């Protein structure tokens, strides 16, 4: 009878309807009933005359292992098996179930045991009481010692219910997890209201100068609570040791409980932050530090369920909280940074490849991908901050900043072709966008020389391939045009605001859309002025060039544009060679740029000095050319980027760093002059005290110009009388590098930089690209992968990829030397440079041009079209192709003309010669 009553009581409890006040007790009762079944199977009820076949005292069951007993206990619970009344509850081991202590268990009745002895993994669960006495021993936080003790006890008895309970209770509760693993130096400050142990009234009593108004008191208390929750106070080493101890246990014993607890934790945080219910006593930063230290985030259910939820929650952190987290990770988690980056990259790639994205549902709409990208931005900033933080003081920062930012403003009055200086400066200030998190941290990508993780590791190619850059640019433009005070609610995320995740090719496409839209805007404005104001219609930037006066005509033409209307530089470039018939569809512009570059970098001009060791050009500090010509080169460089034309320019990387706003430093000298850099490095490493007598070096240097004239220069006042020694050698090296990279070419580079800014001042170039990527925009890629070109080539006129002539063509191409491949590119596209992203982005078209004949192949460089007769064998194809390339090169020296697709051919001795322009 008692047995029946017992089971009925448990059954009634478990049948409570959802939403009933006893719904929590259902789970509590279930846990305790399963415990009772377990110990009935393993220890029995103590009655030697027991006839219950599911009781050890009846001796009707064999000895069971802990796992077997647990499984059978679950089965008995599910089918409501018989439960002996006399099960000895007072013998339950405290190490397995600590919530039942020896003092309390003896006083508990069966009904009390069924109620409230297990705390479920939910936050803020009230204590259940029976009468006036609480039956819950609530765990408030974890420490390394207590966590390891639980693990050791569970391993000793082979039963892991205590560990499961602890993980489910602590790791599902943001408040409790934020109080766990507190560092030894932080116990005093973290035992305050930041972790919920002081009330708001207690905080207000600590404020001696509070206003008596209750509203202001409440605001101060909230602000204090918020401020105290902005610090990371956990001991990360303790966390790692604790997780290492947890790894010593078979994962199946706790993984499910931990995964579900973490999912609940992240969803709770996400909802609270999303709807403004965040509690000031919850230290979210501690929570995220603990969870991101889990060593299993990249595998199993952690990867598929926990990590997405964790990223979505982390994405809601405020800018100041993100900055605090970045600083902490930069100080403590750099060795694990690469693994975390790779894990997030795998998650992004997995979501991209498994998703069905299109015009109706873009990758920008996936909350998990966008959240992961936001977390990646934090890791990207960790990567930068960790190698720039030691230099992040104002004194050092001012040394590395480009002085041209200030000096060029004054120089504009003299060398700006009559431009209005305030207008140019206003545009730069208006359109320059800085990453908000980097601004909060006070760091810049340009300050990071050797990051712990290579910047290329942050590229995600699957994401870059699937993102629709036209739509993404629209989101980017909408966010840029939003007022500073406007809310971002309703604005879609643009990956252009997270440029580190996109490959250079994807960013170049985004820049292309920006440039084209600006061109179309200038074109519409010109037509509007023509119709409404009667002004001459001038929708393009037209340059009329004489082949024997390329530099002079370009200089005069661009100077007139800059004087009359600098915004015309934002129009699409159209070039016309005097005395030649042809329409510029891109081929003439390519040729114009190449002619300018060939002449400007000619040693006879002496504008640039050539280093035969590095094969790079550098500004000639003793050049006699006017500043206007250096400005012209800057404009040419900007126009090439603006019109998506690749140039054959060989500058060291320091030029692009300086264009983006940083001065050259000693590190840049290695690429400019490796021999000098090596000598100065040996000077810094010299350790003997006889440096002055041995080296006999003063703070006065000498150098030669391109004509062999020797110049002397004092690096500081009275430098010739100041010897270099162990104490001042660093100063000498820095002054030497600063003079060579900045001071002695200050005039030339200021003019060059000014011309570049005339074209790119409103462009997002400086926010999307690093110096290395700007070089790719200007010079193209250095990788000649003709397999990519073959895979991307399209065919027309009866050819396809299986045509015999096409197969012969590619067989010939792959056998060519690198130099001949360059010449082939020059012949077919008008440029021997590889575009950003590789040859796969070139989109070459090979069209059939009649049956087999002795005619040479033709090329339309404006459209990247190669017209190829259907030669009957490979040898003839190779001979005709190479002859066409040779004839083209010779003809270019005389002059070429570009024609449209159906322009007539020029035939000499029954052979067709390629004509461009």
How far is residue 441's CA from residue 505's CA, in Å, rounded to a whole number?
28
Do the Cβ atoms of 416 and 559 come closer than 8 Å?
no
Q: Pairing state of beta strands 700-704 and 616-619?
A: unpaired
Structure tokens at 134: 């609480």
- Which one from 84, 266, 387, 862 is the annotated catalytic residue? 862
Task: With H, G, I as helix, E, B as strand and everything else as coil, classify residue 25.
Answer: helix
**Cβ neighbours of 222 (radius 10 Å):** 13
For residue 611, the cross-strand partners are 616
H or E segment at 336? none
| CA angle 229–233–237, rounded 5-degree value | 150
Does residue 55 have an active-site annotation?
A: no
DSSP 8-state assignment for residue 234: B
Task: With H, G, I as helix, E, B as strand and everything else as coil, classify residue 8.
Answer: helix
Q: Pairing state of beta strands 608-611 and 616-619?
A: antiparallel
How far is residue 796's CA from residue 864's CA, in Å, rounded to a whole number?
13
Dihedral of the alpha carbons of 521, 523, 524, 527, in degrees to the nearest 10: 160
How far is residue 897's CA from residue 548's CA, in Å, rounded to a whole number?
15
Sequence-ordered list of residues with C-beta below 8 angstroms from that of 788, at least 6 positions apart, any chain: 838, 839, 840
For residue 593, the cross-strand partners are none
Please state whether 706 falls in left (phi above 0), alpha (psi between -120 and 50) or beta.
alpha
Sequence-ordered list of residues with C-beta below 8 angstroms from that of 152, at least 6 positions apart, any chain: none
How far is residue 297's CA from residue 295's CA, in Å, rounded to a whole number?
6
How far is residue 735's CA from residue 717's CA, in Å, rounded to a whole number?
12
How far is residue 678's CA from residue 645's CA, in Å, rounded to a whole number?
36
For residue 908, the cross-strand partners are 911
Rounded to a whole number of angstroms, the distance between the first and last alpha carbons of the chain is 105
Compute φ and ψ for 653, nearest 5 degrees.
Answer: -60, -25
How far is residue 340's CA from residue 888's CA, in Å, rounded to a whole number?
53
Structure tokens at 442: 């006070």
Please state whether 417 falls in left (phi above 0), alpha (psi between -120 and 50) or beta.
left
Do the Cβ atoms of 514 and 782 come closer than 8 Å?
no
How far is residue 707's CA from residue 624's CA, in Å, rounded to a whole number?
12
| DSSP of 29-43 | HHHHHHHHHHHHHHT
Do the Cβ atoms of 343 and 297 come closer than 8 Å?
yes
Sequence-ordered list of residues with C-beta below 8 angstroms from that of 599, at least 6 positions apart, any chain: 550, 551, 605
Structure tokens at 223: 């602000």
How far is residue 738's CA from residue 399's CA, in Å, rounded to a whole number?
10
Compute φ and ψ for 913, nearest 5 degrees.
Answer: -105, 140
Structure tokens at 452: 């712990």
How far is residue 52's CA from residue 581's CA, in Å, rounded to a whole number?
107
Task: Name the residue among 534, 467, 556, 541 with its Cα closest to residue 503.
Answer: 467
Residues belonging to the active site: 862
């Amino acid at each position: 009878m008692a047995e029946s009553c017992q089971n009925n009581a448990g059954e009634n409890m478990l049948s409570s309807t959802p939403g009933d006040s006893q719904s929590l007790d259902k789970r509590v009762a279930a846990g305790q009933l399963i415990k009772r079944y377990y110990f009935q199977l393993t220890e029995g009820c103590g009655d030697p005359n027991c006839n219950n076949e599911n009781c050890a005292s009846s001796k009707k069951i064999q000895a069971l292992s802990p796992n077997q007993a647990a499984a059978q206990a679950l089965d008995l619970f599910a089918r409501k098996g018989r439960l002996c009344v006399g099960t000895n509850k007072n013998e339950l081991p405290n190490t397995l179930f600590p919530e039942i202590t020896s003092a309390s268990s003896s006083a508990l009745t069966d009904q009390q045991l069924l109620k409230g002895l297990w705390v479920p993994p939910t936050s803020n669960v009230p204590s259940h009481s029976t009468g006036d006495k609480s039956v819950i021993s609530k765990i408030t936080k974890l420490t390394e010692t207590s966590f390891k003790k639980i693990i050791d006890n569970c391993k000793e008895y082979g039963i892991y219910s205590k560990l499961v309970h602890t993980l489910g209770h602590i790791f599902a509760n943001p408040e409790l997890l934020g109080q766990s693993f507190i560092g030894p130096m932080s116990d005093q400050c973290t035992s305050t209201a930041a972790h919920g142990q002081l009330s708001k009234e207690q905080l207000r009593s600590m404020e001696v100068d509070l206003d008596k108004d209750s509203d202001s008191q409440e605001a101060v208390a909230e602000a204090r609570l918020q401020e105290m929750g902005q610090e990371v106070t956990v001991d990360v080493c303790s966390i790692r040791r604790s997780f290492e101890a947890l790894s010593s246990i078979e994962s199946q014993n706790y993984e499910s409980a931990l995964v579900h607890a973490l999912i609940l934790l992240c969803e709770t945080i996400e909802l609270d932050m999303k709807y403004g219910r965040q509690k000031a006593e919850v230290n979210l930063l501690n929570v995220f530090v603990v969870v991101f230290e889990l060593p299993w985030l990249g595998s199993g259910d952690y990867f598929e369920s926990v990590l997405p939820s964790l990223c979505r929650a982390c994405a809601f952190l405020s800018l100041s909280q993100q900055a605090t987290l970045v600083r902490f990770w930069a100080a403590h988690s750099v060795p694990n940074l690469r693994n975390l980056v790779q894990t997030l990259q795998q998650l992004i790639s997995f979501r991209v490849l498994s998703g069905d994205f299109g015009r109706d549902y873009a990758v920008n709409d996936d909350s998990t991908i966008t959240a992961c990208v936001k977390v990646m931005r934090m890791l990207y900033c960790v990567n930068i901050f960790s190698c720039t933080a030691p230099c992040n003081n104002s004194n050092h920062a001012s040394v590395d900043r480009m002085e041209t930012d200030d000096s060029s403003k004054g120089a504009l009055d003299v060398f700006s072709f009559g431009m209005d200086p305030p207008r140019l400066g206003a545009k730069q200030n208006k359109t320059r966008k800085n990453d908000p998190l980097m601004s909060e941290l006070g760091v810049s990508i340009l300050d990071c020389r050797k990051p712990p993780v290579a910047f290329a590791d942050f590229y995600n190619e699957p994401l870059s391939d699937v993102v629709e850059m036209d739509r993404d640019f629209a989101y980017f433009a909408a966010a840029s045009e939003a007022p500073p005070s406007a809310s971002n609610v309703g604005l879609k995320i643009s990956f252009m605001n997270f440029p580190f995740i996109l490959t250079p090719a994807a960013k170049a496409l985004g820049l292309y859309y920006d440039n084209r839209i600006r061109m179309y805007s200038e074109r519409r404005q010109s037509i509007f002025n023509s119709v409404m104001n009667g002004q001459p219609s001038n929708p393009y930037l037209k340059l009329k060039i004489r082949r024997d006066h390329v530099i002079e005509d370009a200089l005069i033409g661009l100077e007139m544009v800059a004087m009359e209307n600098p915004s015309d530089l934002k129009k699409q470039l159209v070039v016309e060679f005097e005395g030649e018939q042809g329409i510029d569809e891109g081929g003439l512009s390519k040729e114009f740029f190449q002619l300018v570059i060939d002449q400007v970098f000619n040693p006879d001009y002496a504008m640039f000095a050539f280093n035969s060791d590095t094969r790079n050009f550098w500004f000639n500090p003793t050049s006699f050319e006017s500043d206007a010509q250096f400005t012209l080169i800057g404009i040419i460089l900007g126009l090439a980027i603006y019109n998506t034309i690749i140039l054959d320019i060989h500058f060291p990387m320091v030029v692009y760093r300086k264009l983006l706003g940083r001065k050259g430093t000693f590190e840049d000298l290695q690429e400019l002059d490796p021999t000098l850099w090596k000598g100065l490095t040996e000077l810094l490493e010299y350790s003997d005290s006889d440096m002055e007598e041995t080296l006999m070096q003063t703070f006065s240097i000498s150098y030669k110009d391109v004509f062999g004239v020797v110049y002397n220069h004092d690096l500081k006042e009275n430098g010739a009388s100041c010897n270099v020694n162990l104490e001042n050698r660093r100063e000498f090296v820095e002054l030497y590098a600063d003079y060579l990279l900045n001071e002695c070419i200050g005039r030339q580079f200021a003019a060059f930089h000014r011309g570049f800014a005339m074209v790119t001042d409103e462009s997002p170039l400086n926010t999307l690209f690093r110096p290395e990527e700007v070089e790719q925009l200007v010079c193209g890629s250095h990788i000649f992968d003709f397999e990519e070109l073959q895979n991307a080539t399209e065919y027309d006129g009866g050819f396809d990829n299986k045509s015999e002539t096409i197969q012969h063509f590619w067989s010939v191409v792959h056998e060519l030397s690198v130099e001949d491949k360059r010449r082939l590119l020059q012949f077919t596209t008008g440029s021997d440079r590889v575009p950003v992203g590789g040859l796969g982005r070139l989109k070459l078209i090979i069209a059939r041009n009649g049956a087999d004949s002795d005619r040479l192949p033709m090329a339309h460089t404006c459209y990247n079209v190669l017209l190829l007769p259907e030669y009957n064998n490979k040898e003839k194809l190779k001979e005709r192709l190479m002859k066409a390339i040779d004839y083209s090169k010779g003809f270019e020296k005389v002059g070429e003309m570009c024609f449209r697709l159906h322009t007539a051919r020029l035939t000499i001795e029954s052979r067709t010669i390629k004509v461009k322009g």
